[in-house]
């Protein structure tokens, strides 16, 4: 399964266009534009599984910087500041990684 099986390719493209410039990425806005904020809990779980590149059950900082590239291989890499902000926003227990619940709670805010 791929992200385009769950999310509209045009919504993904619009979300990526919105954050093309370095330091313009906002997780909440990205989730809204991409349509992720309208998905069911089971769909979000599947999206998380796809985004978890090493299938560890968590998205770690080194995976997070390539977050946009999971949606489109030519997308930019998140800046260090964007990565740290994203991690701090979704890492609820301070362990340096984001679980599925962290992403779901961030999307539903």
Q: In 19-99, which residue ranges form alpha helices assigned H by DSSP?
A: 27-34, 41-51, 61-64, 80-90
Binding site, residues?
52, 54, 56, 58, 63, 91, 93, 95, 97
User: Parallel, antiparallel, or unpaired for β 97-98 and 59-60?
Assistant: antiparallel
CATH number of 3-108: 1.10.238.10
Digit-by-digit pLDDT tens for the chain (109 residues) are 899 999 999 999 999 999 999 999 999 999 999 999 999 989 999 999 999 999 999 999 999 999 999 999 999 999 999 999 999 998 888 899 999 888 888 787 5
Binding site for Ca(2+), residues?
52, 54, 56, 58, 63, 91, 93, 95, 97
Q: In terms of pTM, does the model score above 0.85?
A: yes
């Amino acid at each position: 399964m791929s992200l385009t099986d769950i999310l509209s390719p045009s919504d993904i493209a619009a979300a990526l266009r919105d954050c093309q410039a370095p330091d313009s990425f906002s997780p909440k806005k990205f989730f809204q534009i991409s349509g992720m904020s309208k998905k069911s809990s089971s769909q979000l779980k599947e999206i998380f599984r796809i985004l978890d590149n090493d299938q560890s059950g968590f998205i770690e900082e080194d995976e997070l910087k390539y977050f946009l590239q999971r949606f489109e291989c030519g997308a930019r890499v998140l800046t260090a500041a964007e990565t740290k902000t994203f991690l701090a926003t979704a890492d609820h227990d301070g362990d340096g990684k984001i679980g599925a619940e962290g992403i779901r709670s961030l999307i539903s805010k």
